[in-house]
Structure 1
Amino acid sequence: MKNFKFAALALALAAIGSANAAVITFQTGTSYALAQSTAQGYADVVNDAVTGSGRSQVLSSYDNVSNNGIFHNGDSNIAFKSTIDFGLTSAGTYSFRAGVDFGKGGAVFLDGQVVDFKTNDMWWGGNYGNSSQYFQVSGAALSAGNHTLTIYGLEGCCDGGQQVQFAKAGDDYQSFSVNTLAPVPEPETYAMLLGGLAMLGVVARRRRA
């Protein structure tokens, strides 16, 4: 009975915990590729690198992030892939920006669609004054539900701090973190939660009996 109770509680907590924060996955790999001619080219090259020689970390905040700072793995010939899964409880207009250090350029996808793409040497240096040095996605009309922002890039040398931010129309920019734009639970997650709570109810009734 005790094991049954713990299983029910774990099931309910898993359902709740899956929706408490934006999920920021930071991946890097080794790549000697040059600047690509298309956004999809960046996606293909970087995906190959992070799959073949990759490192991965789920971040608590996307602010001043670097390969060497996270993985202590050097600062040259790096392929970057950042995937941010977030959710909106209601439709809205949002803007995004990413200050990066991609010496060979990169690309940004929102829900699988290309929204920015640059082939030049990008180094924002903490300053959003020069639009050629960072990615910008302005006025994206997003529906309620879950969305994915994916950033790909290539760096020869050297590995500097990076930042990814969002702003709802009329609000200031803020960096993505575990406290922002939590994914919206899918219907099956609600079903899992209700199932776990029902199991706890059964246990409670049996104990009273």
Structure 2
Amino acid sequence: MTVDTHGGWQKIIDFSNLALDSGMYTLGSNYNFYPEADMGAAPGDGVDGRLTLTRDASNTVSVYANGVFSGSFVDSSGLANFGGNNANFFIDDFATSQGEAAGGFVDYIRTWDTALNANDVAALGSPVAAPIPEPETYAMMLAGLGLLGVVARRRRQKQVA
């Protein structure tokens, strides 16, 4: 997931069918589950990252940013419950109409029928795609290979003379 720009409250996940203000947000440069807890640093503006949110049988909600544990809280009020058809992603609720939707893009959303532990989350792999070489990289590589060719040719000519 990539958020274009971070600023005020930007809703990522709403669990109340848009009826309440509670849910998973970015707030500034952090993840936050409102009204429960700050959940650690979010990737910077325009930076791809993976947010993983789990809820186990003891109602503990755990948040992982790029596979690394960020925070948790006991959800005794059931605010982070995926039961039914109540989840909405990247859209503000009707309760406040504050325009808190997050702009950006999502590669995919996955759901499981069991809570993931820290090892399961780590096994999901890296959210960051391999870098694509820029044209300058290729130009520098070709210049280096050309220079090696010139040096090898001069050595060969010196050995013959």
TM-score (ref. length: structure 2): 0.33
The structure with the larger Rg is: 2
Higher share of residues assigned helix: 1
TM-score (ref. length: structure 1): 0.27
Higher share of residues assigned strand: 1
Higher RCO (C-alpha under 8 Å, 6+ residues apart): 1
